[in-house]
Amino acid sequence: MLDHSYPCCPSKVEMLKQHRKLSMSIRRTIENNEEAGIRPSKTYQSFVAAVGGHRELNFIEKDVRNYITREVRNVSEQEDAKEFGKYLLRMKEKNQNFFFELELEEDQSIKLAFWADARSIAAFEYFGDVISFDTTYNTNRYNLVYGSFVGVNHHGQSTLLGCSLMKNEEIESFKWLFQCWLRCMGGNAPKGFLTDQCASMKRALEACMPTTIHRWCIWHIMKNIPSKLNGYKGHAKIEQEMSQVVWNSHSKDSFDRNWNDFLLNFGLVDNKWLSDLYEDRHIWFQSIWITISGQG
């Protein structure tokens, strides 16, 4: 339909996708800037400033970002995964009691990894009754989830009992990880296991360690209070009062009474997060008496 066609604009033809390209020198600059930690937007603006304007470039900022994602980071991730695997092998050669398992994606990037040194394995025999597993922290560069298994020694100090990296926090990933950890520790499941409120982690634990008592870590729950209740007037006072109820209730009955009074006093009876938390109190309130690193 010729009537529906628009006239071509020769001055903008270079912005069509098939005409945009990155020269070799531009690619090298992008790679160097990415390695130096310079943001893609800053890199693109430097090209604009160098030639005197956007129109003088035959590519746009999206092309810079796509190149970084498709080429620079992907290649770097593969190389780093390869070096990480070599490092684990070197550690195994130095000490045969060093334990590791590594699973890669099809593009050779890290999918799942677990490792523990001989000291961690030996420490588990003495301090493996109750374990805390934490995935609070992620790696910045490749967005991998870092997880650590932690126990408490006879001095009340944290003892590292294994480390992990995961591409995601799905049930199958946690199953793979917990099974690796159990093999590393001779198949001996701990009596108690503390985690955050991750549902996938809970399902994996039920499958891998059915006899282990699972509890939510009170420290993680209390850390969520500001984000969950900051919409209420006087939320600082609410947070303070909730902490008092949780930490100063020394029995189930006193906790129930104090909790109900707390909800009524602050008009929080209809708050879904608090209601769900109360329904699951058997999973986290009892963990107050299991102290790991001072974090409940």
User: pLDDT (tens digit, 9 = 90+) per residue, 191-206?
Assistant: 999 998 888 999 999 9
In terms of residue numbers, what domain contains 147? 80-216
Last residue of a domain, which of 200, 216, 232? 216
Domain contains 143 = yes
Asked if pLDDT for residue 15 goes beyond 70, the answer is no
User: pLDDT band at residue 70, thresholds of 50, 70 and 90?
Assistant: low
Give CA separation, 232 vs 137, 218, 229, in Å.
Answer: 28, 22, 6
Domain contains 94 = yes
Domain contains 289 = no
Report pLDDT for 288.
Answer: 47
Q: Which two tokens stand for residue 41?
A: 């937007």
Residue 80: other Cβ atoms inside 10 A:
15
Last residue of a domain, which of 216, 245, 265? 216
In the chain, the number of structural domains is: 3
Asked if pLDDT for residue 14 goes beyond 80, the answer is no
Report pLDDT for 211.
Answer: 92
Q: What is the mean pLDDT of residues 135-152?
A: 81
Report pLDDT for 64.
Answer: 81
Q: Give the global pTM.
A: 0.67
Domain contains 3 = no
Domain contains 127 = yes
